Structure 1
Amino acid sequence: MAMASILTAAILAAAASITVGVAFNVPAISFDDGYTPLFGERNIVRSPDGGSVKIILDKASGSGFISTDLYYHGLFSASIKLPSDYTAGVVVAFYMSNGDIFEKNHDELDFEFLGNIWGKEWRVQTNVYGNGSTNRGREERYRLPFDPTAESHRYSILWTNTTIIFYIDEIPIREVERSDAMGGDYPSKPMSIYATIWDGSNWATSGGKHKIDYKYAPFVSDFSDLILKGCRLDPIQQLPAMEQCREEEGRTAAADYSVMTPEKRKEMQRFRREYMIYSICYDELRYPVAFPDCKVVEEEKERFKKSGHVMAHPVPAGRRQRQRRRGRAQRKGSYSSRVANA
């Protein structure tokens, strides 16, 4: 069996062994216990038990929700099922930000899911911005080892004073360690947690070449198993965040999800070797001198062009056929059935 096939099988097996619903032995909360609508409230549909929520994009509006509290470090997670059908131009995001408070020097940590045309996969991008460093965006982009529209998968962001780890189904896919070289580019101010779906036609698919086609609307994304495990700041207290959060910081540092074991690091390296398709650390056209905090792996770098994009990596034929069959079936569906069954 080819090495790529072995790696793919190993990652798929690891993902399949994870029980979606309880991540890292941390209990989920109901929507109303941690979140509130942000915009497009008529396009936000809660489940009867409040444990999950659909956010919808149609021609009238996108939608999104926000945590009711600000958090200073912790683990933030959701199981997400992405819209199927033709999704070019659609952007679903699960992220942390304080842009509404610090307009010119905000911090941000993102999972951005980028839709695509028929027969092409969703891609996911992670972003790390600190102190308004969007012009020095530390972006990475990946394919996924599963169909994110078929069922929910868990996406988690760990943020501490020293480390940021992005997880997919408890598999770490990216680690950013704080360093003196990063300076203010490391997120350091309290943030809210957001989930949104919106029209990113001007950039999301092939640089804006493919726009949203609203005849396939509504575009529906499911969020469930919501986790907000961090230090909630009390705005009434006049103490600095570090003082308010000292005890919670200790609990977070001792948790399994904060420790990068050798086994977890190997899984992360496997994922990145097989599924990473863009990295700013290898983008010599945009950044002739790599960021000092980039961990350049020469073996990994050989797979990338000077633009930071990976060399051509074809989608397996079996997956292409399944995507086409699913697309043909979904094109026959009605508006109401897509809302109900997404």
Structure 2
Amino acid sequence: MNCLSQNRKWNSFTFINIISIIFVVEAVNISGDLNEEFEADWAPDHIVTQGDQISLSLDSSTGCGFESKKKYLFGKASAQLKLVQGDSAGTVTAYYMSSQGPNHDELDFEFLGNVSGEPYIVQTNLYINGSGNREQRHYLWFDPSLDFHTYSLLWNQRSILFVVDDIPIREYVNKERKGIAYPGKQAMGIYGSVWNADDWATQGGRVKTNWSNAPFIVTFRSLEIEAWQFWWDKPVVKETRRKQLKWVRDNFLVYDYCRDVDRFSLQGLPKECHA
């Protein structure tokens, strides 16, 4: 049964409206069937729901993806993912938020598959007014294919936080006052997908997808969205989380665009890297 079934209910999905400017004083939980909240973005025949889970599969013919019908301006989007097991080289699983159009904003988790025995890499990225090239890459401190782990995007007018199992791995701070672009004007939908990217995803494209291992299956569950109608006027990252960010950066960061002076040798590092 594909993900557009009228008879399935995804009871783990929760939509929360925060109706206080600073504090949450009332929350409304709305649970509806999957067809009311999400729709197949492409290849619905490769998407299967079972209980509170949705599985996406990739084979030599196609990958697949889903998206939310609603869009949100500021908030927190979380999902639990269990990634492709075994030899996942060439595959990419994505969980992200995005607006529409050529000048879109986007916040990405991209999980880059690897050959058996080698760790996944999680790539985070931001597009602002259609411009990306803000990648960071991290190893994880666990095998994301063995069990479910929670990945969250926390977005307000002060900063954007990428969070794994309640540990922040990256923060992008709003520095518009210094003339640096920040995604704060376009509402974004929630997306999940899996596809083949063996031209770049694994060791720079040197390792290709082994289609004899297909189908490659990734499972999502427990999607939650907290839609903030107003600016929650508090810093996202407090001292404890800053220590966690430093721990992740010191131990698991493998690439940061702000350190890639060769890549930006002609125009110099992006302004936000030294603002």
Deviation digits for residues 253-302 of structure 1, max 9, x if unmatched? 46xxx631101110111011100100011101012433232269xxxxxx
Q: 42, 45, 59: which one pairs with 2:45?
A: 42
Q: Which residue does 2:256 correspond to in 1? A: 279
Q: Which residue does 2:269 correspond to in 1? A: 290
Q: Which residue does 1:329 correspond to in 2? A: none
Matched, 1:249 2:230: yes
Q: Which residue does 2:117 correspond to in 1? A: 119
Residue aligned with 2:89, SS: coil
Contact 2:96–2:108 (8 Å) recurs in 1:
yes
Contact 1:129–1:187 (8 Å) recurs in 2:
no
Matched, 1:110 2:108: yes
Structure showing greater radius of gyration is: 1
State the distance in 2 between where 1:263 and 1:194 align: 30
Q: Which residue does 1:79 correspond to in 2? A: 80
Alignment of 1:1-342 (within 5 A): 32=34, 34-47=37-50, 49=51, 51-98=52-99, 101-103=100-102, 105-134=103-132, 137-180=133-176, 181=178, 183-186=180-183, 188-231=185-228, 248-250=229-231, 252-253=232-233, 259-288=236-265, 289-294=268-273
Q: Normalized against structure 2, the TM-score is what?
A: 0.83
Residue aligned with 2:237, SS: coil
Larger RCO (alpha carbons 8 Å, 6+ apart): 2
Deviation digits for residues 233-264 of structure 1, max 9, x if unmatched? xxxxxxxxxxxxxxx224x446xxx6311011
Give 1:143 shift: 0.3
State the distance in 2 between where 1:190 and 1:152 align: 28
Contact 1:172–1:264 (8 Å) recurs in 2:
yes
Unaligned runs of at least 5 residues, structure 2:
1-12, 15-26
Residue aligned with 1:132, SS: coil
Deviation digits for residues 29-60 of structure 1, max 9, x if unmatched? 6671532211111111111x3x2201111122
State the distance in 2 between where 1:61 and 1:168 align: 28
Contact 1:29–1:226 (8 Å) recurs in 2:
no
Contact 1:31–1:53 (8 Å) recurs in 2:
no
Residue aligned with 1:266, SS: helix
Give 1:70 shift: 1.2
State the distance in 2 between where 1:42 and 1:29 align: 24
Deviation digits for residues 46-80 of structure 1, max 9, x if unmatched? 11x3x220111112221110011111111011000
State the distance in 2 between where 1:78 and 1:53 align: 11
Change in CA separation of 1:285 and 1:177 when aligned onto 2, cut-off 3 Å: same
User: As a proportion of its length, which structure holds more strand?
Assistant: 2
Give 1:162 shift: 2.1
Letter in 2 for 1:102: G
State the distance in 1 between where 2:134 and 2:90 align: 22
Q: Normalized against structure 1, the TM-score is what?
A: 0.67
Identity in percent: 35
Change in CA separation of 1:189 and 1:42 when aligned onto 2, cut-off 3 Å: same
Unaligned runs of at least 5 residues, structure 1:
1-20, 232-247, 297-342
State the distance in 1 between where 2:167 and 2:137 align: 16
State the distance in 2 between where 1:64 and 1:268 align: 30
Contact 2:175–2:182 (8 Å) recurs in 1:
no
Tell me how many residue pairs correspond in the alignment.
Answer: 247
User: As a proportion of its length, which structure holds more helix?
Assistant: 1
Letter in 1 for 2:66: F
State the distance in 2 between where 1:83 and 1:184 align: 35
Change in CA separation of 1:85 and 1:249 when aligned onto 2, cut-off 3 Å: same
Contact 1:182–1:293 (8 Å) recurs in 2:
no
State the distance in 2 between where 1:285 and 1:108 align: 25
Contact 1:130–1:188 (8 Å) recurs in 2:
no
Residue aligned with 2:130, SS: coil
